[in-house]
Amino acid sequence: MKILNPGKEDYHIHSITFSDGWNSVDEIVKYAGEIGMTKIAICDHSAALLKADGLLKKTYRSPCKRWQNVYNSVEVIFGVEADLLNESGDVCMEIDGIEGDFIILSYHEEVFKSDSKKVAAGFINAIKRYHDKIDCIGHVRIGLEELDALKVIQTANEYNIPLELNAKYFVKYPENWRVLLDNADRFYVNSDAHVLSDLRDVRNEAFQLLKQMKYIK
């Protein structure tokens, strides 16, 4: 078990600029600097979930290519929280037709409502098809029973894809995440922040809980 971002790095943050966060990209970056973050990935929801949830697009995605951090030294990546679309493993990993530089593949029932076994099959097929593009499997315990989650974790390990210990859900239901902690070769501890207080607090809470559960010293 290896944590890939034990320091001040968070690879799952949402903005109001591109999806359902409460703060703009610039507000997030400013605050990240204030709390000592060194690297963040703003991974807003894919076009599939934006459409399913009826979220209005605030602006175009293309300016990301020329956006620069003029506030501090935080390294900023523009990623996408991609969506699993079906049991065949089709995936939406774009916003405005532009793929992210960091891809988290997640399941959201608004996009693909199905049972645990079919969702697991979808993840496994997607990993086999797109393992060269997927950087992380997001909140694998959401929508999956434990044994099905284990199958996805094992397939991700086989293809050398890290998992995500989603801090927001982990601190609420820690026992649900032992299957990941006990079986994932590598994982990120991400906040899945939608508000600034999430960015500040939930990863710290997750690391404290990992110590209490004796997964780290």
Q: What pLDDT tens digit does each residue of the chain (217 aa) get?
A: 899 999 999 999 999 999 999 999 999 999 999 999 999 999 999 999 999 998 877 889 999 999 999 999 999 999 999 999 999 999 999 999 999 999 999 999 999 999 999 999 999 999 999 999 999 999 999 999 999 999 999 999 999 999 999 999 999 999 999 999 999 999 999 999 999 999 999 999 999 999 999 999 8
Maximal CA-CA distance, the chain: 46
What whole-number distance in Å separates Cα of residue 184 and Cα of residue 187? 7
Q: How far apart are CA 136 and CA 83, in angstroms?
A: 12
Report the alpha-carbon distance of residue 19 to residue 121 in Å, rounded: 27
Nearest-Å Rg of the Cα atoms of the chain is: 16
Whether residue 143 contacts residue 120, with contact meaning beta carbons closer than 8 Å, is answered with no
CA distance 62 to 160: 30
Integer angstrom CA distances of residue 87 from 7, 47, 107, 170, 177:
36, 19, 11, 26, 23
User: Looking at residue 127, what is its pLDDT?
Assistant: 98
Going by the DSSP 8-state scheme, the letter that residue 17 receives in this structure is T
Domain architecture of the chain: domains with CATH: 2-212 (3.20.20.140)
Distance CA 60, CA 81 (A): 17
Give the pLDDT confidence score for residue 17 in this predicted structure: 95
What is the reported pLDDT for 186? Answer: 98
Which of 98, 123, 96, 99 shows the shortest CA–CA distance to 112? Answer: 123
pLDDT at 58: 82
| Residue 178 identity | R
- Find, among 116, 125, 100, 118, the residue nearest to 47 by Cα: 100
The predicted pLDDT at position 55 comes to 82
| Structure tokens that stand for 95 in this block | 């916003």
Residue 196 confidence (pLDDT): 98
Element containing residue 189 per DSSP (H, E): strand 186-190
